[in-house]
Amino acid sequence: MPDPTEQNNCSVTICGTGSYVPEKVLSNADLEKMVDTSDEWITSRTGIRERRIAADGQSTSDLATEAAKQAMADAGITAEQIDLIIVATISPDAFFPATACYVQKNIGAINAMCFDISAACSGFLYGIQISQHFINTGHRKTALVIGAEKLSSMVDWEDRNTCVLFGDGAGAVVLTHDTDGNAGRKVLSSSLGSDGRQTDILHVPGGGSACPITPENADQNLNTIRMQGREVYKSAVNAMRKATEDALAGVELGAEDVDMIIPHQANLRIIEAITDRMGIPKEKTFINLDKYGNTSAAAVAIALDEANKTGAIKPGDIVVLVAFGAGLTWASSVLRW
């Protein structure tokens, strides 16, 4: 069995980051008027205080497009230079075509190959690893990887256990080949995995080929998010810790070498459990879920851009990105910023 940690000889660099969140803010106080909950209940159990909600006319590709433009501007590249676009999402504009193709049209990336991936909250890090392979083999030179979600379109707004968790947004990075070997923001190592035995603990049961939405079941909200909270918590903590340790071991580093960890922004209790067990102090943990909630594939991407733009991570820092998602999937990447 191959080692799940794969090294890439530091040949790929992140040359730009970007993010976008919708203008509308849905606070815990707003949710108190919608379901039987309270600001104290939500904050104490999740750490979330508010989340962003897309406008009625905004699709996932619209959010992704804005994040892409930000990342392109940060990288100083034109749309014509992009030859690969990957969008990680579980809330695509449609079953087909790929949301990435809509982004391609919106930004004018006429030379790009485009496709979506579905790995839930781990999808953005899956996208980074996939793009590394394309770049390292010489098949592509410049990749745009986007995590984007309009989860408000998939939430059961009468289910107080799930509707308080999720928000909308998008984050993006531009990756290129490191030609001189001296550039910063290198992707050093990654570890990815999944466990299909746990597909039922976090899923949307209806809307696909296994359970189409019909007039007979339309009132059951089968096309909305269902979650077994306790099982997700246990699996997430174990998976994210293991993925982080594997990715660090791939470049002979340990938790003590980490300058900043940017975990999936799902739940503050999960984040604290992981960092406490690994001995990573709070001041080295980047958290913004209080403002945005869980934006699934967009969460780590948005957090990385915010950490970059605010100076929370600095040149030379060892940065760990780590996520878990439905499937169950998990992923971690180690960067030297």
Residues labelled as active-site residues: 121, 264, 294
In the chain, what is the greatest distance between 2 CA atoms, to the nearest angstrom?
Answer: 61
**β-strands 24-27, 50-53 pairing:** antiparallel
Q: Say how many C-beta atoms besides its own lie within 10 A of residue 314's C-beta.
A: 13
Beta bridge partners of 320: 261, 334
Using alpha carbons only, give the angle 256, 234, 169 rounded to the nearest 5 degrees: 80
Q: Give the whole-angstrom CA distance, residue 73 versus residue 71.
A: 5
Neighbour count for residue 291 (Cβ, 10 Å):
18
CB atoms within 10 A of CB 69: 17
Collapse the DSSP code of 292 into the 3-class scheme (helix H, G, I; strand E, B; otherwise coil) and give the result. Answer: helix
Closest CA to 266 of 152, 129, 162, 125: 162
